[in-house]
Structure 1
Amino acid sequence: NIGAATPVGASGEDLGETIKDKVSQDAAALLRSISERRGRPSQELELTVTKARSYTSSEALESGIIDYISKSQTSLLDEINGSTVVTPSGNVILETSNLEIQTFERTMLEKFLDAVGDPNITFVLLTIGSIALTLEFIQPGILIGGFIGILAISLAFTGMGQLPVNWLALALIFGAFILFFVEAQAPGIGLYITGGIICFIVGSFLLFGDFSIPGFDRGIFGVNLWVIGIVGTTLSGSVILTLKALSEAVGKGMPSHTSEIIGSVGVVKTPLSPIGTIQVGSDLWTAEMHSNCASPAVGEFVIVKNTDGV
């Protein structure tokens, strides 16, 4: 069959009414121009765009849309041998009697780039990479997190190189994870995490597409709304549970008496060598490491054994 050329989105979805009318009229005008130049039936060809008309091979041959019906590439080459075609540089006589047919398959690299160039896959890679790097910054020393984060974000940027990226939206997504990191460092009323979730959702929705074009339909290039919903919900729940666990681990708020700090769990903020800074609850304290203990790394947990001067 031939025809049914009504414009649709890159993923096969319907376009918005305004952009669909514009693209359809442009395509119809192009077909009329080509058909007049090539001596083809313009009305029949125009219907393939405006009415999604489709023709069988015999109908297309009878109406003059096509010149041949061939069962194989070899038989087609035999039929067109000696035919004259019109080119911008003049008429050309085809000589196809001794041609060799070669088939070129896509390389693994081309298939890989095609996969990561899918907006949904690019979005998921970007999210995974951002989560991994954020966890690495919150808890330094998780080398696998840093490796996965860099790898995933690198692949995401490879995909974004093939897509119309809204860089402001990308900044919103990265800003969301910065807010998550700030919330982890100073757990409070959840203002940062709320702002982070909002930035992430807005950035995800606007990530792909040129929004300067009037009547633009984000469905042409955009992350599937189901993907945004699933990833956004999963991310929000994971961040909330993680920060809640962290808050419980380091304690809640400042004790009413400094003596109550003894026995509390804190997080090392600056190296204890032997004097540094730890966070107990939402407060920072100057701390000194016991002489008989090895100095913990930044991000590790410690227990307060005594107080002095408070």
Structure 2
Amino acid sequence: MTATAARALKLLLLSLICALGLPAQSPPIVIRLTLHDTIQPITADYLQRGLRAAADQHAAAVLISLGTPGGLLESTRTMVAAIEQSPVPVIIYISPSGSRAGSAGFFLLEAADVAAMAPGTNAGAAHPIVEGKQLDPILKEKIENDDAAFLRSYVTRRGRNPAAAEDAVRNSRSYSDTEALQLKLIDLTAPNDAALLAALDNRTIHRFDGNPTTLHLAGSHIVSLPPSTRERLLSSLTSPDLAVFFVVLGGLLIYLEFNVPGTIVPGALGTLLLLLGLFGLNLLPVRHTAVALLLAALVFILLETKFTSHGILALAGTLALVFGLATLVDGPIGELRVHLGMAIGAGVGFGLISFTLAWIALRARKNKILLGPQAMIGGLAVARTPLNPSGQIEIRGELWQATLDINTAILPTGSPVRVRAVDGLMLIVEAAELR
């Protein structure tokens, strides 16, 4: 066949393809998730939603940009299980430069089908922390063994270094990107998403079930799937400081509504803030002894209004409130615990304001409500006629018959007087000075 004939045949085949309307091959889709937050139930929901979306769209891979200080172990286990069961290959990429995958983030990194890091990132420091204090030796050993076994259960299947991974749990080792690559804790490093996908094109990986899969990522179309508005809102509520602030402010507004009934707005807004704060705390590990301290604090503050303790009960209530708030959330990392400054500010503020409101309300209830002439005792008036010793005075815009107290000299018209007592319809007055 001559060259001219071959070209003609190619043109004919192309014309037939166009005439038949055969679709051109579309570029592969890569779903990109951004997980730069603490690991907690909302981030677990976001990851699961992203993996479902990738499966529905028959994506070539899921690319997770990771940066986290760590988080809750239960949420970590949920996310690791979702990654292992994903029908779409999962690539976890610690990025951008300066990011880290600490604690729970290291568990997620090692669970991925492909683990990658950007230059200038680090991962590790996965030692278990409970209540932010030194653990009992036996309990410490049990938790370490459990976490190490959990990590080994999938690190070996991924073909990575189980000894180095376990060292991050038992000895809090943290690795830079180059160290992690040398120790075979990750598969590669890349400066950006495009370079990462290009390096992975046509690479064969083994899924968690052992089946080999070749990645076809050349010319892939990256579709970003950001957290939804609901997930961003709920993730904000999982901040212990914000949740505590909402609970304290909501409680104060509700208390204000009880003291000034009928205003409606403080009560409605306070109820909303209180419910939002309680919802956020419900997503976090709450210590029950701290809840008992908070209840005791409220009892002490209320008792101060009933009994004279010279402020001792109020002080005890405020201290219980501060300690209760400071230890309320039993988070494994600082980002998932109430900061001391917030606990002191909210506790002291709530104690002072609530005690002041209760004291004012109690005084108002104890004050006698006087009606008629008795209500004028102690009031200032002006003489409208000479008081010698009797005459007329004006008080509250009314003219009353008055007589001078026996110890008061005769007063001319216009003199200021003060009501000392009431005798029937006669007011007994004395000279007074206007200020």
Query: What TM-score, normalized by structure 2, do the two folds share?
Result: 0.47
Structure 1 residue 140, shift from structure 2 partner:
1.1
Is 2:167 aligned against 1:70? Answer: no
1:84 to 204, 208, 218: 204
Q: Please list the CA deviations of residues 101-144 of structure 1 after superposition, one character each: whole Å capped at 9, or x if unmatched.
A: 12222233322222222122111211111121122112212222
Equivalent residue letter for 1:40: R
Which blocks of at least 5 consecutive residues in structure 2 are unaligned?
1-120, 378-421, 425-435
1:36 matched residue in structure 2: 156
2:343 matched residue in structure 1: 228
2:278 matched residue in structure 1: 157
User: Structure 1 residues 264 and 94 mapped into 2: Cα distance closer, same or farther (>3 Å)?
Assistant: farther
Structure 1 residue 174, shift from structure 2 partner:
6.3
SS at match of 2:342: helix
1:4 to 109, 120, 124: 124
SS at match of 2:185: coil
User: Structure 1 residues 52 and 167 mapped into 2: Cα distance closer, same or farther (>3 Å)?
Assistant: closer
In structure 2, distance between residues paired with 1:239 and 1:65: 55
Q: Please list the CA deviations of residues 238-282 of structure 1 after superposition, one character each: whole Å capped at 9, or x if unmatched.
A: 233334444444557x9xxx9xx94499xxxxxxxxxxxxxxxxx
Q: Which has the larger radius of gyration?
A: 2
In structure 2, distance between residues paired with 1:201 and 1:179: 13
Structure 1 residue 165, shift from structure 2 partner:
3.9
Question: What aligned pairs does 1:92-111 form with structure 2 within 5 A after superposition?
Answer: 92-111=213-232
SS at match of 1:142: coil
Query: What TM-score, normalized by structure 1, do the two folds share?
Result: 0.62
Q: Which has the higher strand share?
A: 2
Structure 1 residue 24, shift from structure 2 partner:
3.8
Conserved 8 A contact 2:198-2:217: yes
Which blocks of at least 5 consecutive residues in structure 1 are unaligned?
210-215, 266-304
Equivalent residue letter for 1:48: A
Conserved 8 A contact 2:203-2:214: yes
Structure 1 residue 29, shift from structure 2 partner:
3.3
In structure 1, distance between residues paired with 2:333 and 2:216: 47
1:189 matched residue in structure 2: 308
User: Structure 1 residues 39 and 112 mapped into 2: Cα distance closer, same or farther (>3 Å)?
Assistant: closer
Equivalent residue letter for 1:189: T
In structure 2, distance between residues paired with 1:196 and 1:58: 53
1:137 matched residue in structure 2: 258
Equivalent residue letter for 2:134: G
Structure 1 residue 86, shift from structure 2 partner:
1.9
Equivalent residue letter for 1:242: L
Is 2:358 aligned against 1:239? Answer: no
Structure 1 residue 175, shift from structure 2 partner:
7.6
Identity of matched residues, %: 23
In structure 2, distance between residues paired with 1:206 and 1:55: 31
User: Structure 1 residues 90 and 157 mapped into 2: Cα distance closer, same or farther (>3 Å)?
Assistant: same
In structure 1, distance between residues paired with 2:247 and 2:259: 18
In structure 2, distance between residues paired with 1:163 and 1:59: 34
Which deviates more from structure 2 when the two are superposed, residues 172-181 or residues 154-163?
172-181
Conserved 8 A contact 1:6-1:52: yes
Q: How much is the aligned-residue C-alpha RMSD, in angstroms?
A: 4.4
Equivalent residue letter for 2:164: E
Conserved 8 A contact 1:8-1:15: no
